[in-house]
Amino acid sequence: MRIVIALGGNALLKRGEKPDASTQIANVETAVTALAPLAAQHEIILTHGNGPQVGVLALQSANDPKLSQPYPFDTLGAQTQGMIGYWLLQSLQNHLPGRHVASIVNQTLVLAGDPAFENPTKFIGEVYSKEEADRFAAERGWTMKADGGHFRRVVGSPFPQRVIETRLVRALIHDGAVVVCAGGGGVPVVRNAQGKLEGVEAVVDKDLTASVLAEALDADFLMILTDVPAVLVDYGTPEQREINRATPASLRGLGLPAGSMGPKVEAASRFVELTGDTAAIGRLADAEKIVAGTAGTIITPGGNYGGPGDIPVPTPRDTRVRED
């Protein structure tokens, strides 16, 4: 199968951990250990989050007295793609000797008039107390919102229209490479009045970008990996339970929070609705079980999935389309 995997930023830096390189490299090793068996059997395109990492770089940039102004978010996003992409590239190469692995910096096209620029919702950076959040809002002009029992900075998150380098990613897949791309949702860019690309101050949701990329690449399966075993209802209560099989309509009807599970559900549902293929949301450690249909929340048009055998083998015509 061709599988697009969206790896959550919390897989690289867990809540409460210091953002040291050594900590994140160790977490990357754990992640790749879970994903390498899938990469040995399937075509894998791996995307990743960058919320904690881009927040750290933004804070460093804001505090650097040598700069007349902080680096813009598109530049910071490219920096995190290079950093995290390097860690994933090296670990994948070590786990898959003889297999080509490519890690590339991607731009993601968004619309300049997207209303998300006026309503920031994308969490970035570390968690803060209420007092710290109020201080940063006053001192730096940051927009801060509650994230569970803490507060985090939020920025605009426009909807991804297309990964600019999609054709390059497709070419690498056809050459047999495992591809790491569209990290952090990709560097957000718009087209100016001359049709040229320009970076913008935003962070694109990586799950939505993964959905757009999976559709463009004719993927068979979109897997969104996070730190919970499945989509949960009545979260945090004695009635909490997992949803193991679902349709896009049934998941959308749950009204899940926009700042956490909501975008993941939207990304997975959108892919299933547009392609008729399969998406899943679950825990990184369960990646193989999710593909086998024994873990996570599996989303299909009819709400049924029994494993890879449920996905049709591509016809010769399908193969030709994928080689365009």
Annotated active-site positions, please?
9-10, 122, 206, 264
CA angle 320, 248, 147 (to 5 degrees): 115
Q: Hey, what amino acid is at 308?
A: P
2 close to 220: Cβ distance less than 8 angstroms: yes
Q: Is 298 helix (H, G, I), strand (E, B) or coil?
A: strand
CA distance 88 to 28: 6
Residues 144 and 153: beta-carbon distance below 8 Å: yes
Q: Is-contact 293 306, C-beta < 8 A?
A: yes
Q: How far apart are CA 238 and CA 146, in angstroms?
A: 23
Is residue 186 left, alpha or beta, with left meaning phi > 0 and alpha meaning psi from -120 to 50?
left
Rounded to 5 degrees, φ, ψ at 163 are -80, 120
Specify whether the CB–CB gap between 280 and 222 falls below 8 A: yes
Closest CA relative to residue 231, chosen from 207, 209, 204, 210: 207
